[in-house]
A = this chain, B = another copy of it.
């Protein structure tokens, strides 16, 4: 089973309009809504690929109810919280997408405890736990660290795709794989160089670091703790026009699927075999207008075109 955890999910609201007059009144032409949050996107992609996946996190209020309805068909194990789940508002014109992310509300200790119970119910040896996205305001490093180490102790491999100091917390707590983008890596480690930044996370304890490089594909690093570093690099066949939101989540879905399919295989070998697949699925997500969905035809074509090189 793959369990995705979204501690700070959101109802993604999109305002479509021809253009925006800044500082003025704008009439929105159309409003669309999707269940959002990075872990939700990962779960939706895995569900689309018919993988055994379950999603959890903290959910509440009427936006939470709406998200639960929208995710019907997916195995959902949300921890109920008293506050109303936040929204994100995307303002989409013909030329630009501007995102406004509400911060969300704090979550108490009892809810974090309930979340670790969900993890205990679902995750054991051979399972994969994906922790994605931002945390509720006020989340402590120890809450995140305990959740990661709890899953790791149960034998699950943990993939962490979050940002800030929590990336290092997850690496130290036993995450097998951490996946920052370039900016998140720099922010978390203070290193401008990608390899140097990834080495910090390896030294923290991560078995592997996969850095998403946008249109340049992905770079995976393994090794550390005295062992020589190995890298795998994969590039998309070209620039895919579309919506980059959710591309990183599709890559995480591909990596989680590969880890789940090869539970006994060393991570380095899994990455060698799957990084090109992650880049292909990521491109297939860009080709889809909605985050959390992939264009399966595009995915097949990209799979044939993307190659990985090792170093």
Q: Which residues of A contact B (CB under 8 A)?
A: 15, 17, 20-31, 61-62, 89, 91, 96-103
Contact A91 B100 (CB under 8 A): yes
Say which residue of B22, B31, B99, B103 sits within 8 Å of A98 (CB atoms).
B22
Q: Which residue of B lies closest to A95 (CB)?
A: B23
Contact A102 B24 (CB under 8 A): no
Inter-chain CA distance A20–B61, complex, in Å, is 28
Inter-chain CA distance A21–B23, complex, in Å, is 14
Contact A98 B28 (CB under 8 A): no
Q: Which residues of B contact A15 (CB under 8 A)?
A: 89, 100, 102
Nearest chain B CB to A19 CB, angstrom units: 12
**Contact of A97 with B27 at beta-carbon distance under 8 Å, contacts A15-B89, A102-B15 already known:** no
Q: Which residues of B contact A29 (CB under 8 A)?
A: 103
| 28 A–B pairs (Cβ distance < 8 Å), ordered by A | A15-B100, A15-B102, A17-B100, A20-B98, A21-B98, A22-B96, A22-B98, A23-B96, A23-B97, A23-B98, A24-B99, A25-B101, A26-B98, A26-B99, A26-B101, A27-B101, A27-B103, A28-B101, A28-B102, A28-B103, A29-B103, A30-B103, A31-B102, A31-B103, A61-B62, A62-B62, A89-B100, A91-B100
Copies in the complex: 2
Q: Which residue of B lies closest to A23 (CB)?
A: B96
Contact A100 B23 (CB under 8 A): no
Q: Which residues of B contact A22 (CB under 8 A)?
A: 22, 96, 98
Contact B25 A99 (CB under 8 A): yes
Q: Which residues of B contact A62 (CB under 8 A)?
A: 61-62
Q: Which residues of B contact A27 (CB under 8 A)?
A: 101, 103
Say which residue of B26, B101, B102 sits within 8 Å of A100 (CB atoms).
B26
Inter-chain CA distance A22–B28, complex, in Å, is 17
Inter-chain CA distance A31–B22, complex, in Å, is 19
Nearest chain B CB to A101 CB, angstrom units: 5
10 tightest A-B CB contacts, nearest first: A62-B62, A23-B96, A25-B99, A28-B102, A26-B100, A31-B102, A27-B101, A28-B100, A15-B100, A22-B98
Inter-chain CA distance A54–B116, complex, in Å, is 50
Q: Which residues of B contact A30 (CB under 8 A)?
A: 103
Q: Which residues of B contact A98 (CB under 8 A)?
A: 20-24, 26
Q: Which residue of B lies closest to A103 (CB)?
A: B28
Q: Which residue of B lies closest to A245 (CB)?
A: B25
Q: Which residues of B contact A17 (CB under 8 A)?
A: 100
Q: Which residues of B contact A23 (CB under 8 A)?
A: 96-98
Q: Which residues of B contact A99 (CB under 8 A)?
A: 24-26
